[in-house]
Each structure stands twice: as structure tokens, then as C-alpha cells.
Chain A
């Protein structure tokens, strides 16, 4: 039981196996943890005497069969009133403290930085304004931030354990939450980042946050989870929170993702594919995910769920991104959320170019007929 001291240590680090709490990285953490410990103290104050009595009585008053009990007292009103009213006082205390701290969590300060949050099965998209969307949540230390959250399909819940903050994202309404980050997430050294980037590129896989414990830009992070069950990939609906030290640093990061810059359409499309959540459902290696694969898809004829056929060309890709439920490929569920309003024309062109680049059929698009590749028909 060597891990016990670590498990009960208040100072243990989040990444340790036996920490009791995650990092305390927002102003809510202090209130919430203090209350947690206070309630736990009250619990222990009652629990220890109760369990001592329980086991002590069981041992002490154990008697041979047939021996009469020492007492047959059946009630004692003063004692009963005492132990009914006594604990109530603690309850009132807990309620009042809890409600006050909660009101703080609900009262959004004036002038908080605003970030939009769009949640859908099974990804997050943070809206930094001026057309910049990214799944990672990037914040500035010591400045309150307000999230305006909406869901495009089912109920999700945005949960950042390090901030002790959680709020459901309910379709059909905006829900708001705010917090005040207090701890900067560090940046790793350039060598470390370069090394990780190299390994990732060589293996041609998506960035492994769990493995590296920092973002593709080299920032360490806090976890952001979906806490309300939302279907198949609920447990993969995670992203990360990065807290920047200076506004310049944050702005530089936002700018980096604000537009295509000098990337080619294909290269930027590939980034968007990873960044905007396509990667969660559409593979590029030929296996079917929640949605059809992109490999060798462009230019083929698709069998639709309603029996019709359609050629997968630029128009079809564009329509499928903006109005996903219009033409669903047979064998798949109409679960994709719409990206209407979230992608610029340049973004759409980039995604089309990227999907095109994955397909051997792309050049023969024009009048592709029913003689599509067999595996496409199998879908």
C-alpha cells in the first residue's frame, strides 16, 4: 500500500497515477476544493464514530444464544431530537457555502473574452471569431473567459476537470459558462517538439495527445472532456485546453490557424481534416468508420440510402459538408453535423482538394458511370 500517501496528498500532480485532484488551474478550483475538503471533514467526523460504534457494539455486545439483552430501552426523545437537529446545522452550512460559490460560477463578469463553442458528435469546435475555428481551447491566463455554447445534435457537456467547471451543451438553446484560468500551461522545448513532430510524420498517424502530453504546437495542456453520454464515440470526444501567458502568444497562435497562409489547398485541407473533426469519422486508409472512407472515393458513384445514385464530385462533397443529411451513402447513419457557417469557401475548396488528392479516380470524375469500384458498391 505504498501508494496511499501519494493518493491522499493534496499536492500531487495530475499526471501522477494516484493524485486525488487534477491541477487547480482556475479561480473555481480553490472554492470547490475547499468545500470538498470541508464536506469530507464533516463526513469523516460522522463516519468514524459511526463505524467505531458499529464494530465495537458488534464485538462488545456479542452474546451467547439465549442470553438476554442488557437493556430494552426503546426510545429517548431528547437524544433523537439532538441527532435529528444536530446534523441539520451542518447541512445548512454546506448548502449556503455551496450555493454562494455556485452563484460565483454562474455570474459571468463584464468584459470577459468570448469564445464560441460548437459541439457535435463527437468533436468540439471553438470559434475564435473572424472565421478561426479550432478544436483546442486556447485561453489567456488571469483573464475571465465566457463560452457561448451550442450543440448541433444531442446533449453534450463541456467539462474541464482542472478548472472544476462543467456545463451541459443542449441543442436548441445557448448555454453559457465562464472561468478564470490562473495557471499557464508550459511550452515544451523546441527539440522535444521537433522530435515528436518527426515521429508523428514518419508514422503518418494523427497527433497522439496522450502519448506526447503536449499539443502539435508544443503546449502542455489540461484535458477537456464531454461529460454527457452522446453515443458511439462519447469517450473520444475530448480535446485540450491551453492557457497562454501573454496575449501576443495567444494571438500568434490564433493567427496561425486563422487562414490558409502559404499552404497549398491540399495541405491546408489535410489540416482542416484533422482540425475540424472529419478525422473522427472518415478514414483515409480504406476502412469504414462512422462515415465512408475518403480513400479512392472521389469520382466514384455512390449508392445512396434512398436508392438513388450520385457521383461524388465537387458539388457532392460541398453539399455533404454543408447539408450532410441530404444525400447519405447507403449503409451509413445520417449522423454528421452540418458545417454551414463554419467554413469559408477557401476552406471548402481546400477540403475538396484534399479529398481529391486521396483518390485514384479523381481524374476520371466527369461522367463516371455505374461501373464504380466494387468496394464502393459494397458500402
Chain B
């Protein structure tokens, strides 16, 4: 152990801990503390995820048999259509988009920045309640007459079906405001509340990713809001924007919708990139490789993501020129994503890797996201997309990005920051087993779907030709395994809350600011203003065997020599 002063905040007391400093349900409901709001988001998105996940299992079970296994009777197809619509809508609007910014972002952005709270705490609370309100609309749509349009609400189907389209679009509209408020809050927080020393290039990459995400949230979401309002107007007043019966154009809706929803894909995946950058670096105990390239690539993805929406309509009948331009732009967005993968690998190279649960999820992410990204090339290439468009190949591709990417990163992030959130260590074996099960189950679910799609199996089919049965069955078994893996993760985390060891301030040996405060953090995050340095400099962090924790060791500072002209360096003296 090197000589020096050990800096470690130790363990929090009852009073200085954000979870216990005030009590009662109202102290949570009206809290302005970003950490409590983050925890409430975490609970909310987890419930949504469980609901969406059960619907996914229902879909997969139905597809066990070519004629449909789960839902029977004359209404089987209708039920199936409602189930896949709700699965998509819940997962996208209630889980993937708000999960990382809402839960982890809210908790971590001010802490990692070294601030006491976000810029607008009340706006933050209201964004959570808007989320709840939007979710209520979704549940009401589910309980009234269902929704069967698919989560994209394509016209003219959505303007003619008799299910609760208005209720659901209102829900999405409200959720949009929640998303905008969160994004706005982060942008202002990061721009104005950085403490002394926290320059842009000393910000952890999670903050860069969150910042880039917030830009998309603020710029793109209003377009969705307007589109959904137009859709409602179209449905109720038949004003003829999208409906060809009144001289509207249904493809216009697709342009509007994807102008938001393609950037929204990056709302889902960019924060995941941020989490992985943290996990890989901390658990490799090595400086992140190519910090600036990763930071810039987040911004590049956010900006380029606005230019590629047309690739959702390669078969819709746009002009050839438009189609080709969109194809070219689509390829540009893959470069910054590739850069990140290479940088993470280079970070692991010659590191000191601990295969903790978060690291297992991190490795799993790189593997799965790489497959997701690479199969995007088949879809971005115009000629092959003609065959693969709207088949299971697309389903597999975006699940590799959204589930293999975002969900796995989210789980990794939850494991990574769980000790900080709740001050408890989880059982490492349970966490690692869950990571392996999720990895295997996920691949068994979605690898066969690439083959299904290549063979021409269209998506959103309630029944299918018998020659696809075997691959569908494999996929269903995979989904069950995946579900079991997530259950193991859930049990592991819940178990830790009751039986887990107390977490030290810095259980993994991270150098970002959140590891400088106690676990869980005090109400105002830091006891004293944190010292800001390079967030990936691991030189001063040492493992203390005796206490089983990482501490920051600062070398004993030698006092500067007394100001004695004769002893000052030559270059300083000749001034006089």
C-alpha cells in the first residue's frame, strides 16, 4: 500500500441517507430529490417492463403452433393483434424510452456531475407524474376496447379501426411531455450546474450520452406530439391529412412518425452506450480508450439520427432518389456506433478485469449490440431490404438493438449502481447467473428469427405457414429462458435489499464522482464539494483487503519550497 492520505467517506448514518432522512409516503410523493424521483421511475418502469414482458411471452406462446396456440376461438387474431400492439407500445413508450434517462439518469446525472440536484426539481417531479398519467391512459386503452394498430399507429388503419386509438395516442402525447421535461432538465443541469473543475471533457461518458439523448428528446418529441394530434384530428374530424378518402396521403404520416421515432431509437440506445462506457472502464480498472471519440460519436449519432428516418419506408413507394439518399445517410450513422465498440474493446485490452455481474452484462451487451448493428447493414442496403423489410429479420434486428442493447445495458447499469442506489451489495453469483441466462435465452429467442426473416416470414402474423414452425418453437423456448433469467436478476436484487451486505462508498473502484459519496448518498449528495479530476484515472484507487473496499489514496503532498529566490528554478529567476 502506497503511503498517502486515504479518502473514503465510510458508511452513511441514518440521518444523512437520502432514503431515510424523511419518512412517510408523502415524503416520497412530493419529494423534489432527484434520487427519490429516480427510484420511483425505477419502480414504475420495472412494472411496465414486467407487463410488456408478460405480453411478449403470450405472443411467443401463441406462435408455438402455426395455427396459434395461446389464443383460441373466432377472436384469436384480434386478441393476438392487441397483444403485440400493447407489447410494443408499452415497451417503447413506457419502458425503453424512459428507463435509462428516467431511472438511472435522474439518480446519477447530478451525482456524477457533482451537483446537489437537477436544475428544475419541480419540473423533474412533474415529468414523473406525467409519466404516470400517460401510463394510466395506456392502461385505460387496454381496459376499454384494446388497441390493435401496432405501436406505430400507421394510417389509414389507425383512423379507421374502432379500438381505443385516441386514448392510446393521448397517452403517448402525455408521455412525450414527460420525455421533453426530462431532457430539458438534463440539458440545463449539465450546462449550468457543473461545479468548479468539471469541464466538458472531464464529464463521465454517461453524462455525454445523456446530454446527446436529451438533445434528441427536446428536438424530436414535439414532432411526435404534433403528429399524434393530427392523427386524433383526422380520426375525429376527418380533415384529410392522412386519409386518401379525403385526399390525404398515408405515407405523410409515416414521414412524420419516423421523423420522431427514428431519433427515438437513439433515445433508447445512446444512454445504453453511456452505461457501457462506465461499466467497461470501471470493471477493467483502466482509462477509457478514446474518450473524445466516444463523446463526439454520441453527439454525431444524435445529429445523424435525425436524417435517416426514410429507411423505414424503403418499400412504401418513395421516389428512387429519395430512397437512395436515405440509404446513404443510414450508413453514415453506423460508423460512430462501430467506433464505440472498438473503443470498448481497446479499453479492456491490458486492463485489470473483474468479471462482476455488471461486467458480465457489459460483455454481453458488446456481443449482442454488435450483432444488432451489423445486421442493420442488410437492412440499410436497398436491394436486400426489399426482401427483408417487414419480415422477422427486422424483428430480430431491432430486438438485438433494443433488448440485447438497451435492456442488457439497463440491467448492467442497475447492477453497477445498485450498491449506490440502495446501499446494499447483491449476491454476485446470482447476478452472474442471471447475465448468462439472459444472454443465452436472448440468443435462442432472436437468432432463429434472422433465419425466419431471410426465408420470408412476415412480421405481425398471428398464424403462419407450417414450414416455419420449428424456428418459431426454438424462439419461444428462448423467450421462456430469457424470462427466467430476468426473474433471477429480479430475485437477486430483491434479496440484496433484505439480506445484502452494507455497500461501501466505492465497491467497484470507480473514479467518477458518484463513488466519492456514501452508498446510499446523503440528501445533498456530497458532504463536502467533491474534487473533480479525470473520471477515468484509476491511479489513486486502491483495494483495501482489510476493509474489503476500494479507497482513494492521495499521495502525500510535499509542501512547496519556501519562496526563496535563490532556490527558485532558473527560468523563474531571470524575470527579475
Q: Looking at the complex, which one of A172, A173, A231 makes contact with B161 (CB distance below 8 Å)?
A: A231
A230 to chain B, nearest CB (A): 6
What is the bound-complex CA distance between A167 and B316, given in angstroms? 6
Could you tell me if B383 and A98 are in contact, using CB atoms closer than 8 angstroms?
yes
Q: Give every chain B residue within 8 A of A76 (Cβ-Cβ).
A: 289-290, 346
Closest to B469 in A: A17
Residues 52-69 (chain A) with a chain B CB within 8 angstroms? 53-55, 57-58, 61-63, 65-69
Q: Give every chain A residue within 8 A of B292 (Cβ-Cβ).
A: 75
**Contact code string A154-178 (vs B, CB < 8 Å = 1, else 0):** 1101010110111110111101000
A333 to chain B, nearest CB (A): 6
What is the bound-complex CA distance between A102 and B323, given in angstroms? 10
Q: Give every chain B residue within 8 A of A231 (Cβ-Cβ).
A: 81, 148, 157, 161
User: Number of residues in A with C-beta < 8 Å to the partner?
Assistant: 100
Interface-lining segment among B255-263, B385-393, B520-528, B564-572: B385-393
Q: Give every chain B residue within 8 A of A67 (Cβ-Cβ).
A: 352
A34 to chain B, nearest CB (A): 9
Q: Looking at the complex, which one of B285, B287, B463 makes contact with A73 (CB distance below 8 Å)?
A: B287
**Contact code string B145-185 (vs A, CB < 8 Å = 1, else 0):** 00010100010110011100000000000000000000000
Q: Looking at the complex, which one of B81, B351, B386, B455 makes contact with A166 (CB distance below 8 Å)?
A: B386
CB of A319 closer than 8 Å to a CB of B:
no
Interface-lining segment among A184-192, A233-241, A252-260, A358-366: A233-241
Could you tell me if B339 and A83 are in contact, using CB atoms closer than 8 angstroms?
yes
What is the bound-complex CA distance between A100 and B136, given in angstroms? 49
What is the bound-complex CA distance between A167 and B460, given in angstroms? 17
Could you tell me if B287 and A74 are in contact, using CB atoms closer than 8 angstroms?
yes
CB of A39 closer than 8 Å to a CB of B:
yes
Closest to A40 in B: B378
CB of B381 closer than 8 Å to a CB of A:
yes
Residues 332-379 (chain B) with a chain A CB within 8 angstroms? 332, 334-335, 338-339, 341-343, 345-346, 348-355, 359, 363, 366-367, 370-371, 374-375, 377-378
A279 to chain B, nearest CB (A): 15
Could you tell me if B455 and A161 are in contact, using CB atoms closer than 8 angstroms?
yes
CB of B327 closer than 8 Å to a CB of A:
yes
CB of B77 closer than 8 Å to a CB of A:
yes
CB of A212 closer than 8 Å to a CB of B:
no
Could you tell me if A32 and B384 are in contact, using CB atoms closer than 8 angstroms?
yes
Q: Give every chain B residue within 8 A of A17 (Cβ-Cβ).
A: 467, 469-471
CB of B11 closer than 8 Å to a CB of A:
no
What is the bound-complex CA distance between A66 and B2, given in angstroms? 13
**Contact code string A79-120 (vs B, CB < 8 Å = 1, else 0):** 110011001100110110111111101100000000000000
What is the bound-complex CA distance between A61 and B154, given in angstroms? 50
What is the bound-complex CA distance between A57 and B539, given in angstroms? 21
Q: Looking at the complex, which one of B286, B371, B391, B460 makes contact with A234 (CB distance below 8 Å)?
A: B460
Closest to A104 in B: B383
CB of A20 closer than 8 Å to a CB of B:
yes
Q: Looking at the complex, which one of A22, A66, A80 makes contact with B339 (CB distance below 8 Å)?
A: A80
Known contacts A83-B338, A230-B157, A287-B74; A99/B386 CB under 8 A: no
Could you tell me if A58 and B316 are in contact, using CB atoms closer than 8 angstroms?
no
What is the bound-complex CA distance between A65 and B541, given in angstroms? 11
Known contacts A74-B291, A168-B317, A223-B465; A61/B390 CB under 8 A: no
Q: Give every chain B residue within 8 A of A51 (Cβ-Cβ).
A: 367, 370
Could you tell me if A32 and B287 are in contact, using CB atoms closer than 8 angstroms?
no
Could you tell me if B382 and A101 are in contact, using CB atoms closer than 8 angstroms?
yes
B576 to chain A, nearest CB (A): 39
CB of B236 closer than 8 Å to a CB of A:
no
Q: Give every chain B residue within 8 A of A155 (Cβ-Cβ).
A: 154, 156-157, 250
Could you tell me if A102 and B289 are in contact, using CB atoms closer than 8 angstroms?
no
Known contacts A39-B377, A65-B543, A333-B162; A235/B461 CB under 8 A: yes
Known contacts A47-B374, A157-B315, A171-B244; A15/B458 CB under 8 A: no
B396 to chain A, nearest CB (A): 14
Could you tell me if A39 and B381 are in contact, using CB atoms closer than 8 angstroms?
yes
Could you tell me if A87 and B338 are in contact, using CB atoms closer than 8 angstroms?
yes
B361 to chain A, nearest CB (A): 12
Could you tell me if A154 and B160 are in contact, using CB atoms closer than 8 angstroms?
yes
Q: Give every chain A residue within 8 A of B286 (Cβ-Cβ).
A: 69, 71-72
Closest 3 CB pairs of A and B: A172-B244, A161-B456, A66-B543
Footprint of A on B, CB under 8 Å? 74, 77-78, 81, 148, 150, 154, 156-157, 160-162, 244-245, 247-251, 284-293, 315-317, 320, 323-324, 327-328, 331-332, 334-335, 338-339, 341-343, 345-346, 348-355, 359, 363, 366-367, 370-371, 374-375, 377-378, 380-387, 389-391, 451, 454-456, 458-467, 469-471, 536-539, 542-543, 545, 550
Footprint of B on A, CB under 8 Å? 3, 7, 14-22, 28, 31-32, 35-36, 39-40, 42-43, 46-47, 50-51, 53-55, 57-58, 61-63, 65-76, 79-80, 83-84, 87-88, 91-92, 94-95, 97-103, 105-106, 153-155, 157, 159, 161-162, 164-168, 170-173, 175, 210, 223, 225-236, 238, 287-289, 333, 335
Name 5 A/B residue pairs within 8 A (Cβ), A-sorted: A17-B467, A43-B377, A102-B324, A154-B157, A172-B247
